[in-house]
Amino acid sequence: MGIKEDVRNMKLVSPYVAALSVGKRDAALEKVAEAIEAKKEEIFAENEKDLAAAKEMNIADAVVKRLKFNEDKLRDVIRGIDQLIDLPDPLGRKTLARQLDEGLILNRVTCPIGVIGVIFEARPDAMVQISSLCIKSGNCAILKGGKETSNTNRILFEIINEAVISAGFPKGCLLLAETHSEIDELLDCYGLVDLIIPRGSNSFVQYIMNNTKIPVMGHADGICHIYVDAAADQEKAIPIILDAKTQYTAACNAVETLLINRSIAREFVPKLSNALAEAGIELKGTKEVTELLDELGCLDNKAETGLQYEEIAESDFKEYLALKVSAKLVEDVDEAIDHINRFGSHHTDSIITEDDDIADRFMQLVDSAGVYQNCSTRFADGFRYGFGAEVGISTSKLHARGPVGLEGLVTYKYKLYGSGQIVGDYASGKSEFHFKDLEEE
Amino acid sequence: MGIKEDVRNMKLVSPYVAALSVGKRDAALEKVAEAIEAKKEEIFAENEKDLAAAKEMNIADAVVKRLKFNEDKLRDVIRGIDQLIDLPDPLGRKTLARQLDEGLILNRVTCPIGVIGVIFEARPDAMVQISSLCIKSGNCAILKGGKETSNTNRILFEIINEAVISAGFPKGCLLLAETHSEIDELLDCYGLVDLIIPRGSNSFVQYIMNNTKIPVMGHADGICHIYVDAAADQEKAIPIILDAKTQYTAACNAVETLLINRSIAREFVPKLSNALAEAGIELKGTKEVTELLDELGCLDNKAETGLQYEEIAESDFKEYLALKVSAKLVEDVDEAIDHINRFGSHHTDSIITEDDDIADRFMQLVDSAGVYQNCSTRFADGFRYGFGAEVGISTSKLHARGPVGLEGLVTYKYKLYGSGQIVGDYASGKSEFHFKDLEEE
């Protein structure tokens, strides 16, 4: 059995999906939205099965919340589809139009990547969002969601698949993978699958990267930094730090390390330690931070103030994904930059400063997908960037970097229109190139 | 010893190279051109050593021609550098400018990839072209050229490296790798090297792809097709086929398979077999082609006409890189498209037809980096596309596809300018996003 034959067929079908007009693709999205609305009771019933199974497995309440697909989530995904329909067509855009010579015209035109495998966490709304992005961008997709929502995934997939086929998409343009062995089969589809997008834990993404020759887009780590500069507005710094740590602690764009300019440390660190204590965040400082806190008396009466504190080694900067944050003092913005480029994961890093020249230096030299001034690292997200939706966040520098929306699911091809030209004539000097850029769209 | 420590240093230096102004980068290119001119006698002397060694090894004349670095090649590389200086800056371009909310501005800005390893064939001009492209695009580079030109590579590298450092580039921004064991070390530099570009034989590129976690940009195969449609101008078809096969037979963009519309086969195939015979190209046809040639008497008097012919199996379509070409009859453009997507390597494929609707269908549905109408596949090249130079041709669909010039050496980062914004306020409804696109550059 297995899915490889289906993937082989998908590869041959994919150029025909790529050729569908934006009218057809948007009409398919409309059908998807209508079908989800029409069959919502069936979806909710399947979701109840998943929730019951989760309860039996004693899965934590916070996780169960993600598994749920109710009227609210339904409204959200349908609103998301409507937004996607409103977005301009990412395909068929001429990004280069050049006359190479009389009667020899080169166009570079955007087109879908082709066949994409997406492996995502147990969140039914992700199933809808990801398939919608693929439909809008003319890509074929193999979809594998978390097993904790397998019943919900299956019915959502069936509804979506039926809707796009009824809208004129070719059969086999979407595929549901359900077992772990199918992931391994998928990883083996080099030459058939053009891109794999894994979402999930570090170790899972690493596993994918280590076990396939297919290009992988994603991020394994999210060690994000906030640097509090000497010229920081400290009233801004504290709420930004708390937001970046607590608004969604398990997210890849949550802050993990605070770098504090030494010249403001005596004033800022006590404020910080109070705020962290109040928010229940453990502070993990280097020796210099310990000594300062000790000297300032912040480590006294820990039981009373609620401060949780631990000293860490000079190289022990981790992704906690928990209510813990590292802290280190630095001499200036350059030491902060150097620390981030050395210990960071090139995801998203923020500077708190009122000095725009220092901010410029930080944002130029920090080698990350997102470099921020005076705001929370949690803004690194496709919705918040106005992309309508995202398939993931990339820390790779190739193709797509940062939150990946429609544009990241698109590549291009070169179309060259001639009238009998051969290269020999240009090599011999009989003909000459006359490059002239024409109007792009 | 090894190069890993140098690469680690390069990684930390790379943001500073990325921050150099285009004035500094162009000035460095000018210094490189001047230094090559000033030290040309030394370069020629080192090149003589390589040529003498090649002669001793009985290396074929055609290959020795590539190894040579003389006054002509010098003129070419200096002209190339001048062209690069004239090209607009690929860095610092705003490709997205969006207000997310009052006082919260998102910019997407182009920047260098960072650290690039390029492994290229024994051609001294390639050393100059590749390092110039990296200098213009603000990238650090580890350069490994073919061993047959090791003396020339070494002196060229020293001259280039000295020139850029004297122009204000940081030390360690360029690195020469000389031994094969250093290639293996390079492949092991995941996390330090952002991209590897291998040029060379299929098996070499496959080796690189199979032995590193670093993203690889390149192409392993070049199985290019020409489809001669029912509506072809046969007078155009023959010269295009001959050019695509003979103008540079060993190139990846040389044609390997001819697909011929069945309805014109009786007229076209004899013309084709005559032209191929005259050009010394062996024709390798499927059974149907054999039978047709036989029926038409083209296989008689082979000694006299010079036709070299062999029948191939229905699935035996190869990259010959030699004066050989496969041929098969197809029913229509759709069968041609299907054949190309199934057996091709997604490199460059051309249709010969005067029917623009059929051409559109072909160019839409063939899933290749280059899709051409009425011209030779040999046009797939950075110079011929007007890119000034190329670092290689990519058959990957991610990041860069087709000939890769300056634009392929560039990525982007997101810069977000805030004034204290936190995500919690947007999640709670206290604040709302007000997306508004600002003017891009």
Question: Distances from the Cα of A218 to the Cαs of A172, A185, A205, B188, B241, in angstroms?
Answer: 25, 19, 8, 20, 43
- Give the C-alpha separation, B224 to B252, whole Å: 8
Phi, psi at A106, each rounded to 5°: -105, 125
Do the beta carbons of residue B192 and residue A341 sit within 8 Å? Answer: no
Chain A residues whose CB is inside 8 A of the B235 CB are 420
Chain A residues whose CB is inside 8 A of the B426 CB are 384
Arithmetic mean of pLDDT, B10-14? 94
Per-residue model confidence (pLDDT) at position B441: 56
Q: What is the percent of chain A with per-residue pLDDT over 90, rounded to a whole number?
A: 78
Chain B residues whose CB is inside 8 A of the A243 CB are 422-424
Structure confidence by residue, pLDDT tens digits, B89-137: 999 999 999 999 999 999 999 999 999 999 998 889 999 999 999 999 9
CA angle A135, A139, A142 (to 5 degrees): 95
CB atoms A414 and B399 under 8 Å? no
Tell whether B398 is within 8 A of chain A (Cβ): yes
pLDDT confidence band for A330 (50 / 70 / 90): very high
For A344, other C-beta atoms within 10 Å of its C-beta total 23
Which of A294-303, B59-68, B427-436 is predicted least confidently?
A: B59-68
Chain A residues whose CB is inside 8 A of the B363 CB are 415
Do the beta carbons of residue B118 and residue B197 sit within 8 Å? Answer: yes
Q: How many pairs of residues across A and B have Cβ atoms under 8 Å apart?
A: 237
Predicted TM-score (pTM) of the model is 0.90
Structure confidence by residue, pLDDT tens digits, A38-92: 999 999 999 999 999 999 988 877 778 889 999 999 998 999 899 999 999 999 9
Query: Does pLDDT of A149 surpass 70?
Result: yes
Q: How far does B57 lie from chain A, in Å, by closest CA? A: 30
Question: Among A385, A402, A416, whose Cβ lies nearest the Cβ of B370?
Answer: A416
Query: Does pLDDT of A440 surpass 70?
Result: no
Per-residue model confidence (pLDDT) at position A357: 97
User: ipTM, 2 decimals?
Assistant: 0.91
CB atoms A386 and B433 under 8 Å? yes
Query: Does pLDDT of B296 surpass 60?
Result: yes
| The token pair that represents A240 in the structure block | 């930004």
pLDDT confidence band for A391 (50 / 70 / 90): confident
Do the beta carbons of residue A274 and residue A245 sit within 8 Å? Answer: no
Question: Among B12, B367, B370, whose Cβ lies nearest the Cβ of A341?
Answer: B12
Phi, psi at A105, each rounded to 5°: -115, 125
Per-residue model confidence (pLDDT) at position B335: 97
Phi, psi at B117, each rounded to 5°: -100, 125
Question: Among B240, B379, B413, whose Cβ lies nearest the Cβ of A416?
Answer: B379
CA angle B32, B37, B39 (to 5 degrees): 95
| The token pair that represents A365 in the structure block | 């030299």
Tell whether B429 is within 8 A of chain A (Cβ): no
- Whether the CA torsion A391, A397, A400, A404 is positive or negative: it is positive
Mean of the per-residue pLDDT values for chain B?
93
Residue positions counted in chain A: 441
Q: How far does B255 lie from chain A, in Å, by closest CA? A: 13
CA angle A203, A205, A209 (to 5 degrees): 115
Which of A149-163, A207-221, A256-270, B185-199 is predicted least confidently?
A: A207-221
Per-residue model confidence (pLDDT) at position A136: 97
Q: One-letter amino acid identity for A292?
A: L
Chain A residues whose CB is inside 8 A of the B385 CB are 98, 100, 106, 414
Tell whether B249 is within 8 A of chain A (Cβ): no
Per-residue model confidence (pLDDT) at position B174: 98
b/e for B257-271, b at 16 or more Cβ within 10 A? Answer: bbbbbeebbeebbee
